[in-house]
Homo-oligomer: A and B are copies of this chain.
Amino acid sequence: MKLFDEGHFIRQLSIDSVIFGYQELELKVLVSKVDLPHSVWTLPGGFIKQEESIDLAAQRILEERTGLTDIYLEQYRVFGEPTRINHEIFEGFNNMKAEWLSKGILDESSFQWLSKRFVSIGYYALVDINKVSPRRGMLDASVGWYNVKELPKMIMDHNEMVDAALEALRQNLDQKLIGFNLLPETFTMREVQELYEAVYDKPFARNNFQKKILDLNVLERLEKKFTGAQNKAPYLYRFRKE
């Protein structure tokens, strides 16, 4: 099988995505595990079709992994060291080469394709983790959410990619009001605050945080949310788009 068709994709150029989700007070990142046969961890990635814009390529790759369309997505940096050759994956592939060639999983040209140095465009995505049912990539053994503070050692510079993406996210969270992409449709003010605390890894003062967020004038207040707890019921809010 021609997994990577030279005619269809741009050579030596890839997209790698840091997909952020939020759950149980933790900021999480979607990471794939590939068995070759020893395990390596990677960010979801892919390649750019000849007739496809890079933004659409990133969307397509995201949809393949999350099942979601309409994902918040931002290009944040290009990683282009000449040492970006995927030794871990490629050597793993070489172990399986004879088997995969005979089984027709990969053909010779695909091995050639993957042996080169790659320039990778980094995107980060923000998703409502509850809406995602992670799907394995073609070669993945599994995919899973990892706390951004406890990521496995990934291939190449993928850990550095997450660091840079988190940095970019922190820069933009306040200015572009994108944090709500990580939350469900409706949420309480406490949940917003806990999200911010997870992203910035530091506490915020409750009352001032509420004032700051409400002063943004981007939330509409809905009905109260009665949880059964013996305290005042918090309001639900919804992000007002336009």
- Give the shortest distance, in Å, between A11 (CB) and chain B (any CB): 6
Give chain B nearest CB distance to A76 CB in angstroms.
10
Q: How far is the CB of A182 from chain B (nearest CB, A)?
A: 23
A119 adjacent to chain B (CB < 8 Å)? yes
How many subunits of this chain does the assembly comprise?
Answer: 2
Tell me whether A117 is interfacial, beta carbon within 8 Å: yes
Q: Does A13 contact B (CB under 8 A)?
A: yes
From 42 to 66 in chain A, residues with beta carbon under 8 angstroms from any chain B beta carbon are 48, 50-55, 57
Name the residue on B nearest A56 (C-beta): B82
Q: Which of B11, B54, B81, B82 contacts A78 (CB 8 A)?
A: B54
As a 0/1 sequence over residues 65 to 78 of chain A, the CB contacts with chain B under 8 angstroms (1 = contact) are: 00000000001011
Which of B11, B75, B82 sits near A53, CB closer than 8 Å? Answer: B82
Cα distance A77–B50 in the bound complex, in angstroms? 20
Q: A213 an interface residue at 8 Å Cβ cutoff?
A: no
Chain A 2-46 against B: per-residue CB contact (8 Å), 1 yes, 0 no?
Answer: 000000001111000000000000000000000000000000000
The closest CB in chain B to the CB of A121 belongs to B78
Closest to A57 in B: B80
B121 touches A80 (CB 8 A): yes
- Closest CB in chain B relative to A116 CB, distance in Å: 8
Given A11-B11, A13-B13, A53 and B81 touching (CB < 8 A)? yes
Nearest B residue to A118, CB-CB: B10
CB contacts (< 8 Å) of A12 on chain B: these are 10-11, 13
Q: Which residues of B contact A11 (CB under 8 A)?
A: 10-12
Q: How far is the CB of A58 from chain B (nearest CB, A)?
A: 9
Q: Cβ of A78: which chain B residues have Cβ within 8 Å of it?
A: 54, 75, 78, 121
With A11-B11, A12-B10, A12-B11 as contacts: A80 and B119 at CB distance below 8 Å? no
Q: What are 6 inter-chain pairs, A to B, with CB distance below 8 A?
A: A48-B80, A48-B119, A50-B117, A53-B82, A54-B78, A55-B80
